[in-house]
Amino acid sequence: MATWKVAPALAAGCTAILKPSELVSATCLELAEVCREMGLPPGVLNILTGLGHEAGAPLASHPQVDKIAFIGSSAPGSKIMTAAAQLVKPVSLELGGRSPIVVFEDVDLEKAAEWTIFGCFWTNGQICSATSRLIESIAAQFIQKLVQWSKNIKISDPLEEGCRLGPIKSVTYLDVEMIISFSLLQYEKILKFISTAKSEGATILCGGDRPEHLKMGFFLEPTIITDVTTSMQIWREEVFGLVLCVKTFGRSAAVLSNDLERCEHLTKAFQAGVVWINCSQPCFCQAPWGGNKRSGFGRELGGWGLDNYLSVKQVTQYISSEPWGWYKSPSKL
């Protein structure tokens, strides 16, 4: 995703500073090395590693940074927007989400089950576009299909042949509102979400624990939770992990139905930056990508991505040999 920012910025003629997550800095350093080998001049692409408050925050408020493009969660996105506002500099934000997927009764159950599972559990659910809120009208029969598909997913070392789910990543969190700082593994955070859902009355239909065949590492079984209400934490907040919540009907960013007129009607009604019909998660570099409301604003990819790093300028040249003539010439007074 770093290239979603870097490529259009360089193509637009800008120099760029890329501040990667402190957890995945190595990939961005490798990207810089590839650019150097390809002949990109020194200073055009710069990689600045470090923690957010030490490296990212100074960039957001620096007067010589003309534009900010950020991918991350809503809390730091809000802080970046506040810092940029002090200098009235443009910002594009791709933030977290809690995307639902709507499944109607007229679909092929096997296809719908696979797309639903893929939409939530692809990349271990650690993606802002994960369709992790299932809203459906088929009930028991479809839920059973989801359980079967979930239990059939191979969870293993990512380097092992056929692996479809690897370990959960580790993250450090800071609870600013309570003025309490603490370290919490993402793995433990997901387990806390699950236990809270259970205490609030939801049903853990399958998963929610470490796979029996894996004794070490941050591995977690795909989790399906039913009997969920809209007031529950598990439904309202982004889990960023292997958890699919199920309830009956509403609106979403993905719709599975054989009734294309219904699909078209819903896509017009969705307040979402990306809408999928009879699928979930496809992404094409030619099409715009981005969120609405608290999921951010601005679009990546295609011509829209390039526009993020361009500033429109009007240039007017007077080409007539005649005087403008709005005022009387002093010589004729």
CB atoms within 10 A of CB 19: 23
Radius of gyration of the chain (CA): 24
Compute the distance between CA of residue 152 and CA of residue 243 in angstroms, rounded to an integer.
Answer: 16
Strands 296-297 and 91-94, how do they pair? antiparallel
Q: How many CA atoms, within 13 angstroms, populate the side-chain half-sphere of residue 99?
A: 33
Catalytic residue, from 28, 120, 128, 263: name it: 128
Compute the distance between CA of residue 204 and CA of residue 194 in angstroms, rounded to an integer.
Answer: 8
Catalytic residue, from 22, 33, 35, 94: name it: 94
Is 128 among the residues known to form the active site?
A: yes
CB 255 within 8 A of CB 243: no
Is 285 among the residues known to form the active site?
A: no
Compute the distance between CA of residue 33 and CA of residue 13 in angstroms, rounded to an integer.
Answer: 20
Sign (positive or negative) of CA dihedral 231, 234, 240, 243: negative
DSSP helix/strand/coil, 106: coil
Residue 207's Cβ-count burial label (10 Å; 0-12, 13-18, 19+) is buried
- The interaxial angle of helices 2-11 and 25-37, nearest 10 deg, is 30
Q: Which residues are catalytic?
A: 94, 128
